[in-house]
Amino acid sequence: MKTIKVNIVTPNGPVSETEADMVIASTETGEIGILPGHIAMVAPLQIGALRLKKDTTTVNVAVHGGFIEVRPDVVTVLAQNAELATDIDIARAQRAAKRAEEQLQAKADKLDAQLVELDLKRAINRINVHNMK
């Protein structure tokens, strides 16, 4: 079966360089499934999961925004932060979610609230991806 190369890159370096049968990504306009031979495209990503399917296994990655570039034989994800599910520190994500929820309840000013909502989204994404099978 044909595979597609997948590179996930952050400013801190590569997070994963692997091959997949199929990639599922959460773009700003919805979830897309990418198979080898997909037409070239670039799309902005949501704070969400990237799922790499290979044979009977799935590798899940928490991706915090950024872009996906698709070419027929390679998918590149460029994001400020991305973590493999197995690298996620669940206790840290739970602490971050709790802190953000408390800050939102304290009703910070509008700009702060937007930043804290993003903190909360990242923490929830990490918790969800950590719990994915």
Kindly state whether residue 2 participates in binding ligand ATP, applying the rule CB under 6 A. no
Q: List Cα–Cα distances, 128 to 2, 15, 44, 81, 122, in angstroms.
A: 30, 19, 20, 16, 10
Helix, strand, coil content of the chain in percent (nearest 5): 30, 45, 25
Find tokens 């990418």 and name the residue.
Answer: 34
Instruction: Check binding of 12 to ligand ATP (CB under 6 A).
Output: yes
Which whole-number Å values give the CA distances from 115 to 20, 109, 120, in the listed order? 34, 10, 9
Q: How many residues bind ligand ATP (CB under 6 A)?
A: 13
- The answer to whether 92 contacts ligand ATP (rule: CB under 6 A) is yes
- When asked if residue 34 is in the footprint of ligand ATP (CB under 6 A), the reply is no
Question: Does 89 participate in binding ligand ATP (rule CB under 6 A)?
Answer: yes
Contact at 8 Å (CB) between 80 and 57? no
**One residue of 20, 70, 78, 96 binding ligand ATP per CB under 6 A:** 96
User: Nearest distance from residue 99's CB to ligand ATP, in Å?
Assistant: 7
List residues binding ligand ATP (CB under 6 A).
Answer: 12, 64, 81, 83, 87-89, 92-93, 96, 119, 122, 126
